[in-house]
């Protein structure tokens, strides 16, 4: 494969900014991601850091023999990942946990293009007051609607980029990108002009790419 310049933002010390530029990614031997997501009633919160949707139990991500349950997903503007030096206007982080509490996050990068209907639904239901989750049983959401058609990915072990900044997180950054409209980007940016963390060092972490 060709060389890939991949940057990641990893929250350890908010005051430190270090750029990581590996010369390439090893490819092969990685299992496909298997998504088994179900529609759930909307539970949404503006937690003061981002817009977050808390997901009812029952939706899973399977990676090999490991099964993770989707807990929540949230957004950052701009993206907290870069590929070949390219920023993206938005990223969704889908946060999962297995039965032992190990975390896995799927990152979906968005580029400007067609509007995303699910994002339209979410933005219309952002609570007016911060830090107060809203249950909206009349609105059903299916997180699968955020995913691109292809599910190849980059993977590495890092940490959460928001408090509590847990270490040992398995990250899966999808190679393909979803789209959203300029208006949808602007609507989020009006609330959070920049809620992405600075680029952090990988400290020797290996980044792999699936076939």
pLDDT tens track for 34-68: 999 999 999 999 999 999 999 999 999 999 999 99
CATH code, 46: 3.10.200.10
Total domain count, the chain: 1
User: Which residue among the candidates 49, 102, 151, 177 is catalytic per the annotation?
Assistant: 49
In the chain, the N- to C-terminal Cα span, in Å, equals 10
Owning domain of residue 98? 6-198
pLDDT digit string (tens) for 167-187?
789 999 999 999 999 999 999
Is it the case that residue 28 has pLDDT exceeding 60? no
In a domain, 206, yes or no: no
The question of whether 76 is a catalytic residue gets the answer no
In a domain, 208, yes or no: no
In a domain, 154, yes or no: yes
Tokens of residue 35, six digits: 């998504």
In a domain, 210, yes or no: no
Please name the residues in contact with 66: beta carbons below 8 A apart, sequence gap of 6 or more.
98, 102, 104
Which whole-number Å values give the CA distances from 172 to 31, 93, 176, in the listed order? 11, 10, 12
pLDDT digit string (tens) for 141-161?
999 999 999 999 999 887 766
In a domain, 164, yes or no: yes
* Distance, CA of 74 to CA of 181 (rounded, Å): 18
Please name the residues in contact with 154: beta carbons below 8 A apart, sequence gap of 6 or more.
4, 6, 25, 83, 171, 172, 173, 175, 207, 208, 209, 210
- Which pLDDT band holds residue 120 (cuts at 50, 70, 90)? very high
- Report the phi/psi class of residue 128: left, alpha or beta, with left for phi > 0 and alpha for psi in -120 to 50: alpha
């Amino acid at each position: 494969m060709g060389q890939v310049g991949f940057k990641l933002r990893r929250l350890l010390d908010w005051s430190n900014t270090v750029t990581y530029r590996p010369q390439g990614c090893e490819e092969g031997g990685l299992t496909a991601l298997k998504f088994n997501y179900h529609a759930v009633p909307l539970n949404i919160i503006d937690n003061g850091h981002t817009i977050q949707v808390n997901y009812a139990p029952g939706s899973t991500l399977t990676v090999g023999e490991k099964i993770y349950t989707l807990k929540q997903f949230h957004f950052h503007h701009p993206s907290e990942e870069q590929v070949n030096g390219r920023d993206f206007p938005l990223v969704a982080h889908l946060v999962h946990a297995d039965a032992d509490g190990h975390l896995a996050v799927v990152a979906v990068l968005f580029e400007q293009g067609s509007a995303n209907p699910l994002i339209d639904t979410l933005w219309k239901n952002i609570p007016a007051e911060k830090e107060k989750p809203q249950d909206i049983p009349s609105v059903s959401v299916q997180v699968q609607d955020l995913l691109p058609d292809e599910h190849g990915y980059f993977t590495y072990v890092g940490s959460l980029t928001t408090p509590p900044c847990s270490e040992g997180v398995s990250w899966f950054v999808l190679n393909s990108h979803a789209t959203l409209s300029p208006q949808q980007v602007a609507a989020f940016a009006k609330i959070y002009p920049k809620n992405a963390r600075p680029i952090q060092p990988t400290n020797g972490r290996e980044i792999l790419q699936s076939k």
